[in-house]
Structure 1
């Protein structure tokens, strides 16, 4: 999917550590350390970046075991570029990748924050409650 404004370019690539850290913070996602990003990003199954005049302004990734489970993560758009349909472009590309490449019966999940759930519903994601509930913990080193 190409954006109507040709200044926006979507490319299939994993974000650089610097772009990843910057986009997470400015879009309101929790910050990640450089060490964590350097370790985690190479394990990406599929990722996209949207650039505006060569500057990364959006990203999204798929992680998982590349067979049974896929998780959509790091959907982030620079606030100065929100409202342009960039999130939709990102999610559409990621979902298309899973639909095309994952084996039959693979499970694709994500954690939806706030009103983003409405975007994800457009691509077939459904709430898992009440049958299931998402749970998590954050590692804290002392």
Structure 2
């Protein structure tokens, strides 16, 4: 994955969205800070390199990664937006929207017709702006965790 940069930063907005994945420790810390269920370090280390695409939000003055989002899937029929997380102290600045715009652009540029794009949302009203809708009653989301 390259470290392409969107370059859209200025004095008032001291954040940059960069095409990249966080290191495993930062990934775990962002999930924890955002109140998401933890993942094992082993799982993170194995899983991150298998991402199709990812972006991070970087706070320019500190060079700290404060947000992330990635796409996992088979790069043909299924794309899943995953691990959207912003540190709480950096929320409310449009970073989630900017991350989603980059993830959506990747899908629009690379996904063939009729690909299935999904996500599991724990925030009401955010993902709907990007055209996502609930699957019920046609289908329902399900999950289980390994021990």
TM-score computed with the length of structure 1 as normaliser: 0.93
In 1, the alpha carbon distance for the partners of 2:36 and 2:70 equals 14
Residue aligning to 1:39: 46
Does 2:120 match 1:106?
no
In structure 1, runs of 5+ residues without a counterpart are none
Count of aligned pairs: 138
Shift of 1:15: 1.2
In 2, the alpha carbon distance for the partners of 1:124 and 1:6 equals 26
CA RMSD of aligned residues (A): 1.2
Which of residues 118, 128, 138 in structure 1 aligns to 2:135? 128
In structure 2, runs of 5+ residues without a counterpart are 1-5
Moved more, 69-78 or 6-15: 6-15
Residue aligning to 1:18: 25
Within-5 A mapping of 1:1-142? 2=8, 5-52=12-59, 53-113=62-122, 116-140=123-147
In 2, the alpha carbon distance for the partners of 1:14 and 1:84 equals 21
TM-score computed with the length of structure 2 as normaliser: 0.90
In 1, the alpha carbon distance for the partners of 2:49 and 2:37 equals 19
Shift of 1:91: 0.9
Shift of 1:117: 3.4
Compare relative contact order (CA 8 Å, sep 6+) and give the higher one, 1 or 2.
1
Structure 1 segments, 4+ long, off by >3 Å, are: 3-6
